[in-house]
Amino acid sequence: MRQRIRPHMSAIEAQQLSRIYQVGDEEVRALDGLTISLERGRLAAVVGPSGSGKSTLMALLGGLDTPSSGTVSVYGQKLDGMDPVDLAAYRRSTVGFVFQDFFLLSHLTAVENVEVPLKLSQISRQERRARANELIKLVGLGHRGDHRPQQLSGGERQRVAIARALANRPKLLLADEPTGNLDEKTGHAITEILLNLNKEQDITVVLVTHNLELAEKTEIQFRLGGGKLQHTTKSTKEISSPVIEPKIDMAQDQSQEIVEPKEIEITVEATQSATKNIIILETGFCQTEATNIIHEIRPDLGIFQIPHLLNSLPFTVLENVESEKAEELRDRFEAAGCVVEVGNTSES
């Protein structure tokens, strides 16, 4: 049984945080001098109208973007001024991301999708598989581990995405409108999973939502407006939530799916005899260059489609790359300033 982390220790400290975009002659102040702090092990919601800076804040907390000014630290790691390589390591060691779109690899099973972030760590294949299976069970999908995303309902896909976000044992889980593509009932089930993770796994959770009923289930609500913190509401009652129920009503869950989510798939075809490699690109800082290289490999993907793929997760996967090509691509991505890792997908 894990011990509750001492609540006074800080998970997030942001001071006068600003992110300003220059669009032509115009300055867009996506975040404008925001100061917030959050203790470890808390569950917080970020609410506010569209364009108020919620996703911008999540990108800064997750090390997917860097502030124009101000300071931000997560679990004592100072992110402003951190170089891209260290930010990539920070993302991998500390943060899990869940988004409105599930961004699952469509030709991998649920368990294999959860394994993706573990592929390049120094653990054996058996351990990776065991960890992925354990996480798939944790999100109540033990009976669906070998299904591919298209064989899963929207709610189930989001469960897989949550399990994947937990693969590297993050301290902070950032969920940006995780129920945005789901109907109310399925969204409620996903919320319960996040509440439980916070309670039972001692993970600090920050949840962006437009659903105020959902926001009220959290301990602290930060309301943003125009890139500024408008007010903070702390719930007075102790948050309680039921234990994750592994047996879910599948018929219900499937019938209630309403939106077909996007899937990421960038596959480079391998020659028959070549060893298959997987390239994991830590994205966020080399998008223009990476977009051009990927467009060369996959001219069928639209030049406007690729940046969306690169921006959507902290990593982008190129699969089935033949060895010779993998080395060449690694060199090119590195020369472009990307953080890139090449691994072998052979079964050992």
Site for ligand ATP, rule CB under 6 A? 21, 23, 28, 30, 48, 50-56
Shortest distance in whole angstroms from residue 32 CB to ligand ATP: 10
**How far out from the chain centre does Cα 344 lie?**
24
**Which is closer to ligand ATP, CB of 53 or CB of 155?**
53
**Which is closer to ligand ATP, CB of 21 or CB of 93?**
21
Let me know: does 224 contact 57? Beta carbons within 8 Å: yes
**Which is closer to ligand ATP, CB of 48 or CB of 154?**
48
Among residues 157, 163, 161, which one has the least CA distance to residue 257?
Answer: 157
**How far out from the chain centre does Cα 333 lie?**
22
Output the six-digit token pair for 150.
């298209």
Shortest distance in whole angstroms from residue 304 CB to ligand ATP: 14
Spatial separation of the C-alpha atoms in residues 155 and 120, rounded to whole Å: 28
- In a 10 Å sphere around its CB, with 0-12 CB exposed, 13-18 middle and 19+ buried, how is residue 8 labelled? exposed
Shortest distance in whole angstroms from residue 68 CB to ligand ATP: 12
**Which is closer to ligand ATP, CB of 27 or CB of 127?**
27
Spatial separation of the C-alpha atoms in residues 308 and 132, rounded to whole Å: 27
Alpha carbon separation from 9 to 2, 13, 74, 110 (Å, rounded):
17, 11, 11, 35
DSSP code, position 226 = T
Shortest distance in whole angstroms from residue 179 CB to Mg ion: 13
Kindly list the residues in this chain that would bind Mg ion in the complex (CB under 5 A): 55
Shortest distance in whole angstroms from residue 101 CB to Mg ion: 12
**Which is closer to Mg ion, CB of 31 or CB of 105?**
31
Indicate which of ligand ATP, Mg ion, none lies near residue 316 (CB less than 5 to 8 Å, by partner kind).
Answer: none
**Which is closer to ligand ATP, CB of 20 or CB of 120?**
20
**Which is closer to Mg ion, CB of 18 or CB of 55?**
55
Indicate which of Mg ion, ligand ATP, none lies near residue 21 (CB less than 5 to 8 Å, by partner kind).
Answer: ligand ATP
Spatial separation of the C-alpha atoms in residues 314 and 117, rounded to whole Å: 10
Indicate which of ligand ATP, Mg ion, none lies near residue 52 (CB less than 5 to 8 Å, by partner kind).
Answer: ligand ATP
Indicate which of ligand ATP, Mg ion, none lies near residue 30 (CB less than 5 to 8 Å, by partner kind).
Answer: ligand ATP
Contact residues for 265 (Cβ-Cβ < 8 A; gap 6+): 105, 106, 107
Shortest distance in whole angstroms from residue 54 CB to Mg ion: 5
Shortest distance in whole angstroms from residue 289 CB to ligand ATP: 17
For 111, how many CA atoms within 13 A lie in the half-sphere containing its CB? 17
Indicate which of Mg ion, ligand ATP, none lies near residue 180 (CB less than 5 to 8 Å, by partner kind).
Answer: none
